[in-house]
Amino acid sequence: MTAGRGAKPPAGYRPDIDGLRAVAVALVVVFHAFPESIPGGFVGVDVFFVISGFLISGILISGLEERRFNLRDFYSRRIRRIFPALAIVLAACYLAGWYLLFADDYQRLAVHIRSGVLFMSNFTLWQEAGYFDAAAETKPLQHLWSLGVEEQFYLVWPLLLWLAWQAGVRPLRLIVVVLSASLLWNLISIRSDLVGTFYSPLTRFWQLLVGATLACVPYEPGVRAAWERLRPAEPHVRRRLASATSATGVVLIAVAAVFLSNQTHYPGRWALLPTAGALLVVAGGPDAWLNRRWLAQPAAVWLGLISYPLYLWHWPLLSFSRVAYGATPPATVRGALVVASVALAWFTFALVERPIRFGSARRVAVAGLCTVMVAILALAEYTNRTGGLFERAINVTDAAHFQQYYDRLRRQGTAEAYRQECDFMDWPTGKLRPAIDASCTQAGSAGTWLLWGDSHAQALSSGLRAVAPQGVQVAQVATSLCRPDVAEYESVPDGRCRRANAFAVASIRALRPGVVVLAQSGAYTAVDWEALARQIIALGASRVVVVGPAPQWAPSLPEVVAKQYWGRDFHRVSHGLAASVLESDRQLKTRLANSTSLTYVSLIDGLCTADGCQATVGDSKDLLTLDYGHLTPKGSVFVAETILRPPLLGGRGAP
């Protein structure tokens, strides 16, 4: 239950809540700029959700209670609050992309601008989180997913509250029902669909409703009376209880920020930590010691006031800097960009947002803002339909042609090499395919190898077929976004992973392959490979070979070469090399060195040295990977011939 003054409706201004906003935005900004310093800083978004649910639902519920509920006024206020800074940032990203992005990337930016205008970024990112998706760091509007979730909530929540009110249903009862359903769906779906659970509004609404619960409690007579009976009579005891409540909330947020990371299955149950923490801080009220002495300090309040434009500005600056550098910029540059984002946020707030929100011409402002957003939408759609405005000067350089070649190869040139017909995802539409081609699981006259995994397994296909002995057939069940697993799981809403893996299990039983080759895109260290190998052997396979990750470059190897190595030797590239992949490989080699159930093959050992990793196919100019880490067809054959052949033919590891 709440403590101190936290049970009061948010009718009066609370500077400590702006201070909590400052904490939330600081967590997110520092996490994006220096992820190693606060590995769980992304939980700042969860704190924002709770604050928003508390403040906005308080306005809605008080309007219902006082008979002044007006949907038109509510949405007019939302437009004046959200549109000004968003329009400026979207326009700035479009302008920056004109000079910095090649056609394919500019077209993708246009799609994201369109989604930002329509508050659909979470759905766009959800849809894109699949086959050959670009790295998140190169998407300047990636962060708008949370704004999409929030605005989707406010499209349905006011109307739902009003309908329930008309039907005689108290807000608290409605909140408890919807919150419980959303939280339960979050806890269930995280087990099978990590991407969908992260982006879906249905698995995030409960966090806004946690704040809404606190906002409506003061209007529930029974709850309020029960609290008054339990509430200590002595003012100093009440203040101590409020302080303890707030301090507990701060601890929960801090624990989440320090101990969670991007490897955590999130949101899921872990989202309870920052969500409950934010609830307790707000519930502590303005008299809580931390709220009064720290969160209500002028500096914290100032940062909280500009938190929305700061959230909008910081990520595009960091993202475009990564594009310009072709890799993560130095820490000094990232620090300077954080300072610049704070300055831009202040100017946006003071010169644009505040005058429009609180100025005298508010009715005209709403119409003008809507017109501006429609114009941005039209410009983005035109850019998308014209393929990213290829006539721009940036697209006619040799480096641009080089990168565009690999962009086209990524999108259009891998169907045969990767065996598109063996993917339960239909490549043109991205939807579930009911069955794969019968040729994918044919047996060979001299034996069968079976390739199983996701798109990174598909990338090995042409190489395996090149080194397979005469009469040995390479069967393949490799489906985009689906790691190999005997147990049922799902990472995509359409159910393709369950179908693909069940089919792979049945194929192993039927084919009894001499070798099953496993590969996946990431999270290698989270899999119990030995247990999986034992299960595969029990199904009828003779041997299991786990192929470790190939080197990965951020944002992509073609972009790193085009922007950092153009005009000089790029056979071995260290710039942008993902250290996390090297560390995963090191851990796997240690863990699986003495395994009796599988053979682990390290591609890193065969391709990398202390001065970087091989980026080309032998001594040629052909790149090894076509994006951040998927092998090109030529790269696949090269890797198979130089690294995979011995273990596939019976050896214990890479040469």
Report angle CA 284, 286, 292 to the nearest 5 degrees.
105
**451 and 380 in a common domain:** no
Predicted pLDDT of residue 7: 36
pLDDT at residue 308 greater than cutoff 60: yes
- Determine the average pLDDT of the residues in 525-544: 94
Question: Omega of the bond prior to 555 within 30 degrees of 0, cis?
Answer: yes
**418 and 381 in a common domain:** no
Q: Does residue 607 lie within any of the structural domains?
A: no
- 133 against 254, higher pLDDT: 254
How far apart are alpha carbons 547 and 569 in whole angstroms?
28
Predicted pLDDT of residue 653: 36
- Segment among 6-10, 253-257, 318-322, 333-337 with least mean pLDDT: 6-10
**175 and 80 in a common domain:** yes
Q: Does residue 574 lie within any of the structural domains?
A: no
Predicted pLDDT of residue 493: 58
**433 and 377 in a common domain:** no
Can you give the pTM of this predicted structure? 0.79
How far apart are alpha carbons 366 and 372 in whole angstroms?
10
Tell me, what CATH number does 518's domain have?
3.40.50.280
pLDDT at residue 11 greater than cutoff 70: no
Predicted pLDDT of residue 492: 62
Q: What share of the chain is helix, strand, coil (3-state, %, to 5)?
A: 65, 5, 30
Q: Contact, 294 vs 19, CB < 8 A?
A: yes
**163 and 291 in a common domain:** yes
Predicted pLDDT of residue 356: 92
Q: How many domains does the chain have?
A: 2
Residue 397 phi, psi dihedral angles, 5° rounding: -85, 160
- Determine the average pLDDT of the residues in 73-94: 96
Q: Does residue 509 lie within any of the structural domains?
A: yes
Predicted pLDDT of residue 507: 96
Q: Which two tokens stand for residue 455?
A: 């798109």
Q: Contact, 119 vs 154, CB < 8 A?
A: no
pLDDT at residue 555 greater than cutoff 60: yes
pLDDT band at 515 (very low <50, low <70, confident <90, very high): very high
pLDDT band at 92 (very low <50, low <70, confident <90, very high): very high
Q: Does residue 527 lie within any of the structural domains?
A: yes
Choose one of 364, 385, 406: the last residue of a domain: 385
- 335 against 218, higher pLDDT: 335
Predicted pLDDT of residue 304: 97
- Determine the average pLDDT of the residues in 103-107: 88
pLDDT at residue 6 greater than cutoff 70: no
Residue 461: partners with Cβ closer than 8 Å, 6 or more residues away: 417, 418, 419, 422, 451, 474, 476, 478, 636
Q: What is the pLDDT of residues 601-621, one digit of tens each?
A: 999 999 999 889 999 999 999
Among 115-129, 171-185, 487-501, the range with the most confident prediction by mean pLDDT is 171-185
Q: Does residue 103 lie within any of the structural domains?
A: yes
How far apart are alpha carbons 450 and 464 in whole angstroms?
10
- Determine the average pLDDT of the residues in 337-345: 98
Residue 167 phi, psi dihedral angles, 5° rounding: -85, 0
**418 and 326 in a common domain:** no
**419 and 366 in a common domain:** no
DSSP H stretches of helix in 362-397: 362-385
pLDDT at residue 467 greater than cutoff 70: yes
**193 and 102 in a common domain:** yes
**479 and 374 in a common domain:** no
How far apart are alpha carbons 18 and 24 in whole angstroms?
10
Q: What is the pLDDT of residues 491-504, one digit of tens each?
A: 665 678 889 999 99
Amino acid at 322: R
Predicted pLDDT of residue 364: 84
Q: Percentage of residues in the chain with pLDDT exceeding 70?
A: 95
Q: Does residue 285 lie within any of the structural domains?
A: yes
With tokens 């039907």, the residue in question is 167
Q: Does residue 172 lie within any of the structural domains?
A: yes
- 422 DSSP 8-state letter: G
Q: What is the pLDDT of residues 411-454, one digit of tens each?
A: 788 999 999 999 998 887 777 889 999 999 999 999 999 999 99
Residue 482: partners with Cβ closer than 8 Å, 6 or more residues away: 424, 453, 454, 491, 492, 496, 497, 500, 501
pLDDT at residue 3 greater than cutoff 50: no
* Domain that residue 352 falls in: 15-385
Q: Which two tokens stand for residue 447?
A: 């034996």
**374 and 426 in a common domain:** no
Residue 601 phi, psi dihedral angles, 5° rounding: -115, 120
Predicted pLDDT of residue 256: 97
pLDDT at residue 1 greater than cutoff 50: no
Q: Contact, 557 vs 625, CB < 8 A?
A: yes
- 237 against 314, higher pLDDT: 314
**451 and 356 in a common domain:** no
Q: Does residue 562 lie within any of the structural domains?
A: no
pLDDT at residue 150 greater than cutoff 80: yes
Predicted pLDDT of residue 263: 74
Residue-averaged pLDDT of the chain: 91
**In angstroms, what is the C-alpha Rg of the chain?**
27
**192 and 124 in a common domain:** yes
DSSP secondary structure, 152-174, as one string: HHHHHHHHHHHHHHHTT--HHHH
